[in-house]
Structure formats: C-alpha cells, structure tokens
Amino acid sequence: MHPKNLHNSSYDFNTLTRAHLELSKHVFINSFGKKSIDFSNNQAVLELNKAILKHHYRLNDWNIPKDYLCPPIPGRADYIHHIADLLEEDPIRYQISGLDIGVGANCIYPILGTQINNWKMVGVDINRTAVTAAQANVDLTPNLKNNIEIRHQENNANIFEGVIQLNEYYHFSMCNPPFHSSEKEATKGALRKLRNLSAISSKGKSLVLNFGGQANELWCNGGEALFIKRMIKQSINYKTQVGWFTSLVSKKDNLPKIHKQLTKLKTIHKTVEMSQGNKQSRFVAWKFPKE
C-alpha cells in the first residue's frame, strides 16, 4: 500500500470494537490465533467499515442502503493518497477541489478526501437512492457538511455535462467505473470472490455478495473499457475546468484500448500502479496540454 496509508498493518480489532461496539459481535479467533471477521458476511464487513470510519476518519456514523456497495476502505484510501502524489507534481497553494464521478451511496471517496487531506469534494451519481444515501452520510458528520456537496446526474449519457458548472474548476476528477459488461458477468465475478473467501460450502448455498452492488455500480454496456473511453472523449470539453482526469482500471487487459484513446486525443497521460496485499490495481490519469 501507499506509505501514508493508515491501513498498512493488520486491523486492530481491540481498538476498532471500542470505536464501534456492534463490530464485536462479528469478531472471532481464527486458525492462526488472531482476531478476525468473516469477510464473506456482508453485515460483518459493514460493521468493520463503520468502525474504521469512526476510529480513523472521525465520522459520527455511516450507513448504506441494503444491497449497495460496501467498499474495502484501505484500497479506497490508496487511490486518495496516490492522487495527492499526482497533484504534488504542480504544487497548489490553496484548498484542493475534487470531483468523484459515481459517488455511490457509500460516499467513500469524498469522505476520505476530506478527512485525510481536507479537500473540497463534489460527489455525483445517476442513482437517486445513492444520492440520497450519500447526502445522509455527509449530514451525519458536521465537518463533512462543510466540505462535500452531492449532486444528481440526470442524464446517464453524460459524465461531466450537467455536473461541472460554468466557472467551476476541479484540480482532479476520480472514478471507480462499473467494471462488468452485464449482470451475468457480474454474478460470475461475485461467485469467484466468494469462493476465494471460502464462503460457498455447498452447491446449493445461495449467493450473497459481501460487497453488495446495484446494476449501475457493477455493470454497464461495454463494461469498464467502453465507459472510460467515453469519459476520455467527453473530458476534452472540460479540459480547462479539470486539472487531472483519473479513473480506476480494474482489468489490466483494458489498458491498451484506453491508452490508444488517450494518445488519439493527444493527452498527457500516465498509469499509476497500486497494490493492496496480493491485489494489484491501477488508475489512469490524463490532462490536456495548455494551448
């Protein structure tokens, strides 16, 4: 993980359960003699997230509606830290403003951006339930209310239009795009994840996603690659209003297509590699040369 990430060491369940008592119901001693939780249990993961956000990020509380994405916070924090590194290439003398495309009900990137770096953040989503839930999470903690604004994108064909207002400027945009191309593909991915967590013990066991997820969060036509290519095409119209455009890329095989699009539009671009334990991840970042 990034050297500044608070989650470089194992979870301190003693401290976390003091911050959020409900977590203690899900903590047990594993086969290695250490405290842990069942990471295939969505309620356990939700309570862990609440504890982390209360203890490390000074939140009063945090909630998500049933069946919405429950994000692994250490990896999300890594994205925030690496964006901060990106911005340091051209030092900024005043408060940084960021735009999160697809903020989701969890509102995790604006929360982390504000609580780690004191950034001003705008979070955007096409799903009204997600927008309502994200706003509720902001309202729970006074400091968030001063630094985070939630907006509804009414046209799912647009990414920036209707969101970035006249005379607004963002030092960066960020996005965790839907990475599957269909519900079937998303379900296969969920099954693989649960098997890795040893959560399926019998053939007939029902599928429960420990990360949840609505359709707009998990899949879109053409999947991740097409979504990011569309974002790149639309970003050219906002090249003077956003410093760095960025997006996570979950599938490494999609990078050649994305790089081709970035080169075609004559952007300055780079791929930033990240790692969380055995998991490798990355994001692409691009900007347009000053005219």
CATH number at residue 269: 3.40.50.150
**Residue 1 falls inside a structural domain:** no
Which pLDDT score is estimated for 7? 95
Q: Torsions phi, psi of 125, nearest 5?
A: -150, 150
- Asked if residue 125 has pLDDT above 90, the reply is yes
Which one has a higher pLDDT value, 216 or 252?
252
Inter-residue long-range contacts of 83-89, CB under 8 Å, 24+ positions, other chains counted: 83/172, 83/174, 83/244, 83/246, 84/4, 84/116, 84/117, 85/2, 86/172, 86/244, 86/246, 86/272, 86/285, 87/171, 87/172, 87/243, 87/244
Question: Cα(125)–Cα(102) distance, rounded to whole angstroms?
Answer: 5
> Which structural domain, as residue segments, surrounds residue 233?
71-287
Which one has a higher pLDDT value, 85 or 196?
85
Q: How far is CA 208 from CA 49, 199, 222, 247, in A?
A: 18, 9, 25, 28
**Residue 120 falls inside a structural domain:** yes
pTM over 0.85: yes
**Residue 189 falls inside a structural domain:** yes
Nearest CA to 212 out of 67, 17, 34 is that of: 67
**Residue 261 falls inside a structural domain:** yes
- The arithmetic mean of pLDDT across residues 68-86, rounded, is 94
- pLDDT tens for 198-232 read 544 333 344 444 445 444 444 356 689 999 999 99
The domain tally of the chain equals 1
Q: What is the mean pLDDT of the chain?
A: 88
DSSP 276: E
Q: How confident is the model at residue 90 (pLDDT cuts 50, 70, 90)?
A: confident
Helix (H, G, I), strand (E, B) or coil at 148: strand
**Residue 24 falls inside a structural domain:** no
**Residue 188 falls inside a structural domain:** yes
- Asked if residue 180 has pLDDT above 90, the reply is no
Please tell me the least confidently modeled range out of 2-11, 70-79, 88-97, 252-261: 88-97
Tokens representing residue 99 in the block: 């735009």
**Residue 144 falls inside a structural domain:** yes
**Residue 139 falls inside a structural domain:** yes
Q: How confident is the model at residue 82 (pLDDT cuts 50, 70, 90)?
A: very high
